[in-house]
Chain A
């Protein structure tokens, strides 16, 4: 089956112009650029090297899978790209802005304005309604409650959860939870989506739905999407597959 056949997200507004523009600027300003990253944890005998001289560039409109065995450093790389973890050395640039030396409040600003996250375990707020989970992302950006509610409802409709606005996360299926998490990541309209094992807890149908959504974000809306995964079922959706082993990038290949 072709990746495109699973495009459940017909509701996603096609942003051809966005993609076109993204492709036009592809060579000029990458979404994420990391260069010579090194990161180790622990000290002395317990010191473990997680990343060693890792360099990678991801462009707008591209869906990149980061793959590798457990402990290979892919989540560490994702954390550093997401401005959540600081590298020991090397440089990270988000849309051309070098963020490596920024203070914690400045990194918060970068995360808030440019990045959206999707987590393996969804990380939804269990006490909030589905729509409120999405509204939180907008509230962080200072959007008023009424506008946030309206925008959250729109985004939830986009991911096929228009009828689940008032549901609690516990009342949603795994696939619905992950789509809600994607809606939350999308609400603030970030340029970059970073996803950690987004399909790991899902069956094949829901897994394809979720990765299809992420693929459409890249293709139709020109977003840069980086996905850490072990899931072989989603290879076909990727533009590029980057394989990491022992903290180094072994292979970076375009997906045919």
Chain B
């Protein structure tokens, strides 16, 4: 019966219901988009690390993130190679460069040069062309989302990076860069040429551990054997990079604050409209109290009203959010709305609406049932 009363109360004033739902939808969309951006950006900062099949990353001492680091000396490579527990060692170049567009403008890009035979550091989600074509001279692969930005239309288009000519031999899908400089994948020697690095210079050493040897053990050994470097497991390196970009720079905090603002707006709107609905039906709650209804019975009606509002608002809000996510895939911004975030957001929406109902609950708890004899 409480469900019937709650739903009828909500439907009684349709304009107010629309206002309530608008508030919930607005909050859900705002929180979903901001949280989705946070997740998308966080994922983008470490996407190359997460998609590289290396157990351990060796980098210059004091490195703070994946994108900005200093070159390593060749000794680091050989010292790693002779460390116990190491199965495979590969070099990787990550360096910013200037990309000259056909129309004459320039764009900053981030060159990722990897050793072709191993494939450690190679692009993934290749939707056109092939990674194998990178074995050809002066070839690169870019993400299809940056075609327009980089002035590339088709496979085989010629481009110019730091004055070096190259051909585009593949397009990936969904490899976005947090720094706004698109990733350009190529073979290690080409990357070294483009970035004016000597053949003996590179920025990372990627290590695969031997079967049965723990990553922690190999990490400790590498720290002992390789001079002047920092050593991280893949997870540590990923986390370090994410933390740098999302929190040290304040970018992530801004997104989280915007998401929190969405929550506040949602709470305020829902609290106001639920309170107004409660005030409209105060006489009925007084009558229920006079009839012997417990506080729990009346609270249940209000909480159900809040939950119904949450459910309806969430359904609409998350649907709109998924549409926005679809649109974002066509742009540079990466909004990710994985299932765990959608489920978490549902819990947040329920909490938001139930929390907003506390003011109404407080009001009816203090309700004096004698009001029923005073006329309405």
Q: Interface-forming stretch among B182-190, B289-297, B308-316?
A: B289-297
A residues less than 8 Å from B12 (CB atoms): 126-127
A113 and B292 in contact, given A79-B370, A84-B370, A123-B376 (Cβ under 8 angstroms):
yes
A136-169 Cβ-contact flags toward B at 8 Å (1 or 0)? 1101100001001000000000000000000000
Whether A12 is near chain B, meaning CB under 8 Å from some CB there, is: no
A125 in complex: contacting residue of B5, B294, B376, CB < 8 Å:
B5
B375 touches A121 (CB 8 A): yes
Closest A residue to B284 by CB, please name it. A125
Bound together, the chains give a CA A103 to CA B290 distance in angstroms of 15
Question: Among A105, A120, A121, A196, which residue has its beta carbon within 8 angstroms of that of B294?
Answer: A105
Judge whether A119 is part of the interface by a CB distance below 8 angstroms: yes
B289 → A minimal CB distance (Å): 8
Say yes or no for A175: interface residue by CB 8 A criterion: no
In the bound complex, residues from chain B placing their C-beta under 8 Å from that of A126 are 12, 284
Do B4 and A78 touch (CB < 8 A)?
Answer: no
Binary contact track A74-109/B, C-beta < 8 Å → 1, others 0:
010011001011000000000000000000010011
Known interface pairs A105-B294, A108-B294, A111-B291; A119-B373 also in contact (CB < 8 Å):
yes
**Beyond A109-B292, A117-B291, is A140–B5 a contact (Cβ under 8 Å)?**
no
Whole-angstrom distance between the alpha carbons of A145 and B5 in the complex? 13
CB-based contact B290/A117 at 8 Å = yes
How many chain B residues touch A (CB < 8 A): the figure is 26
Q: Are B290 and A82 closer than 8 Å at their CB atoms? A: yes
Asked if A75 contacts B8 (CB within 8 A), the reply is no
Indicate if B15 sits at the interface (CB-CB under 8 A).
Answer: no
Q: Does A209 interact with chain B (Cβ within 8 Å)?
A: no
Set of chain B residues within 8 Å of A145, measured between Cβ atoms: 1
Interface centre among B8, B11, B373, B376 (most CB of A within 10 A): B373
Q: Is A135 an interface residue (CB 8 A)?
A: yes
Are A128's CB and B5's CB within 8 A? yes
Judged by a CB distance under 8 angstroms, whether B9 is at the interface is yes
Determine the chain A residues whose CB is within 8 A of the CB of B294 once the complex forms: 105, 108
B71 at the interface (CB under 8 A from A): no
Instruction: Evaluate whether A136 and B1 lie within 8 angstroms (CB atoms) in the complex, with A78-B373, A117-B372, A121-B375 already known.
Output: yes
- B-side binding surface: helix, strand, loop or mixed? helix
Q: CB distance A84 to B290 under 8 Å?
A: yes
Assess the A79–B293 pair: CB atoms within 8 A.
no
Q: A112-B291, A125-B284, A140-B293 are in contact. Are A84 and B4 (CB under 8 A)?
A: no
> When A105-B294, A117-B290 are in contact, do A84 and B5 touch as well, CB less than 8 Å?
no
Give the residues in chain A near B9, CB-CB below 8 Å. 127
The reply to whether B375 and A120 contact each other, CB–CB distance below 8 Å, is yes
Q: Is A132 an interface residue (CB 8 A)?
A: yes
Which residues of A are found within 8 Å of B351, using beta-carbon distances? none
Tell whether, in the assembled complex, residue A123 and residue B292 are in contact, meaning their CB atoms are under 8 Å apart: no
Q: Which residues of A contact B373 (CB under 8 A)?
A: 75, 78-79, 84, 119, 196
**Binary interface encoding of chain B residues 235-248 relative to chain A, with 1 for a CB under 8 A from any of its CBs, else 0:** 00000000000000
Asked if B355 is at the interface of the complex by the 8 Å CB criterion, the answer is: no
Contact A136 B290 (CB under 8 A): no
Report chain A residues within 8 Å CB of B288.
Answer: 136, 140
**Distance, CA A108 to CA B290, complexed state (A):** 8
Interface residue? B73 (CB, 8 A):
no
Residue of A75, A110, A126, A196 with most chain B CB atoms under a 10 A cut-off: A126
CB proximity of A186 to chain B, nearest CB, Å: 12
Q: Which of A111, A148, A196 contacts B292 (CB 8 A)?
A: A111
Enumerate chain A residues within 8 angstroms of B2, measured Cβ to Cβ: 139
Bound Cα distance from A108 to B367, whole angstroms: 13
Closest to A145 in B: B1
Task: Known A111-B291, A123-B287; judge A84-B297 contact (CB<8 A).
Answer: no
**Chain B residue at minimum C-beta to C-beta distance from A108:** B292
Contact between B292 and A136, CB atoms less than 8 A apart: no
Say whether A115 faces chain B, with CB atoms less than 8 Å apart.
yes
Bound complex: CA of A79 vs CA of B288, how far in Å?
Answer: 15
Q: Tell me how far the C-beta of A84 lies from the nearest C-beta in chain B, rounded to whole angstroms.
A: 5
Determine the distance from Cα of A123 to Cα of B287 in the docked complex, in whole angstroms.
Answer: 7
CB-based contact B11/A127 at 8 Å: yes
Q: Which A-B residue pairs are the 7 nearest by beta carbons?
A: A112-B292, A127-B8, A139-B1, A111-B292, A123-B287, A127-B12, A84-B369
Residues on B lying within 8 angstroms of A by beta carbon are 1-2, 4-5, 8-9, 11-12, 283-284, 286-294, 297, 369-370, 372-373, 375-376
Sample of 17 A–B contacts (CB below 8 Å): A82-B290, A84-B370, A110-B292, A112-B292, A112-B293, A117-B290, A117-B291, A123-B287, A125-B287, A127-B11, A128-B8, A132-B1, A139-B1, A139-B2, A140-B291, A140-B292, A148-B1
List 19 additional contacts besides A123-B284, A132-B4; criterion CB under 8 Å.
A75-B373, A79-B370, A79-B373, A84-B369, A110-B292, A111-B292, A121-B375, A123-B286, A125-B5, A125-B284, A127-B5, A127-B8, A127-B9, A127-B11, A136-B291, A137-B291, A140-B291, A140-B292, A145-B1
